Amino acid sequence: MAKSIYIHIPFCEHICFYCDFNKVYVENQPVDAYIDALITEMEMVFSAQPPDQIETVYIGGGTPTALSSAQLDKLLRAVDEMLSGHPVKEYTVEVNPGGADAEKLKVMSQYSINRLSLGVQSFDDDLLKAIGRTHREKDVYFTIEEAKKNGFSNISIDLMFGLPNQTIEQWRESIMKTVALNLPHVSAYSLKIEEKTIFHNMMRKGKLSLVPQDDEAEMYEILLQQMSRSLLHPYEISNFAKEGYESLHNQTYWANEEYYGFGAGAHGYLAGVRYANIGPLPHYLSAVQENNLPIKESHNVTLQEKMEEEMFMGLRMDKGVDKQRFLRKYQKSIEEVFSRQISSLEEEDLIINEMETIRLTQRGKLLGNEVFERFLLI
């Protein structure tokens, strides 16, 4: 039974050049109608598939703080009422630096939210401008200060490396400024050029200068070193936390567990079925207003796919894939299913095959995607 909820807010005040998530400019959009539809969708799904014990909630986007204070209040009030009595341990909202003013943070503090995730990406103003971000370094400090004033201490920031024309020194500087904030959680992702993004169009035209792979690898090594020195342990390839501050919600994904997904373009995984909601806002609204679930497509996940995904996702975590847990879930041992892959990856120093777990080596973390692909059963 799913214990986690993802809620998607597709509105943005500006479109970042690297982003391929489902999003639209917030101006002149039917935001109030969307909030109503979102609440209705949740009620319909919970009626059909009642939650047992919801433990984590994550509101992402888009930009949740693109909502007005009143709209945010309406949504958060409805979520709290629906989850009354549930043992929610972690409730995260994504926050855009400079986009969450004191009033919005005060609204959030009045509900069950106990964790904020700030999309910082870089502390270099020129780089922020080059990737289409509207905030600047000073906005990061302001938002963190205001968040703390409103009682938020569990704050995570997202960083990006391998950005166009980004130097190793610029990256090192962003890491040092991150460490100086002494926050309990940091996520850091390398740039991936996705289709249907501004960067993809620029790359096709030869107008995007990407960082060499060797420099990107060095940036990751710098990240690991500095996070270790600041006592943030790498519990997942791209995520670092102080003891007790690991993201419970994201661990739902990495443990290949089921979760509810609500909103336009949201993805979910319930009763063995992965599904994707309708993306375009008018079509999503029409479906819900006609009392239909706004599902665009769904897929019954086969046993083989579940086992593959268990390896893809589980190996992202520092603790790796638990062999006994795998056996309990699938009635087969890891060695029985993936003996050939395990043997070759071990020889190549990409995984460590221990008595109880299989996990990536340091080299395996640098070549993670290559490792994951090897677990595709053809």
pLDDT, tens digit, for every residue of 318-361?
999 999 999 999 999 999 999 999 999 999 999 999 999 999 99
What is the pLDDT, as a whole number, of residue 195? 84
Residue 378: pLDDT over 80: no
Residue 344 to residues 316, 352, 377: CA-CA distances in angstroms? 19, 11, 15
What is the pLDDT, as a whole number, of residue 169? 96
The highest-level CATH class for domain 4-254 is alpha beta
Per-domain residue ranges of the chain: 4-254, 303-373
What is the pLDDT, as a whole number, of residue 366? 86
CATH number of 303-373: 1.10.10.920
Contacts of 207 (CB under 8 A, 6+ apart): none
Asked whether the beta carbons of 284 and 37 are under 8 A apart, the reply is: yes
Encode burial over 210-222: b for 16+ CB neighbours within 10 A, e otherwise.
Answer: bbeeeebebbbeb
Residue type at position 68 = S
Peptide bond into 62 cis (omega under 30): yes
Residue 190 to residues 18, 121, 151, 193, 321: CA-CA distances in angstroms? 11, 10, 31, 10, 23
Residue 121: pLDDT over 80: yes
Sheet strands side by side (includes 273-277):
267-270, 273-277, 295-300
Condensed to tens digits (0 to 9), the pLDDT of residues 202-239 reads 888 888 888 898 999 999 999 999 999 999 999 999 99
Mean pLDDT confidence for 105-131? 96
What is the pLDDT, as a whole number, of residue 207? 83
Mean pLDDT of the chain: 94
Asked whether the beta carbons of 350 and 360 are under 8 A apart, the reply is: yes
Condensed to tens digits (0 to 9), the pLDDT of residues 229-285 reads 999 999 999 999 999 999 999 999 999 999 999 999 999 999 999 999 999 999 999
Residue 73 to residues 188, 260, 281: CA-CA distances in angstroms? 30, 21, 21
Instruction: Quote the CA–CA distance of 65 and 9 in Å, as a whole number.
Output: 9
Neighbours of 4 (CB within 10 A): 25
Using 50, 70 and 90 to split pLDDT, how confident is the model at 16?
Answer: confident
Q: Give burial (CB, 10 Å; 0-12/13-18/19+) of 208.
A: middle
Place of tokens 């460590």: 352
What does pTM read for this prediction?
0.95
Condensed to tens digits (0 to 9), the pLDDT of residues 361-377 reads 999 998 999 999 999 98
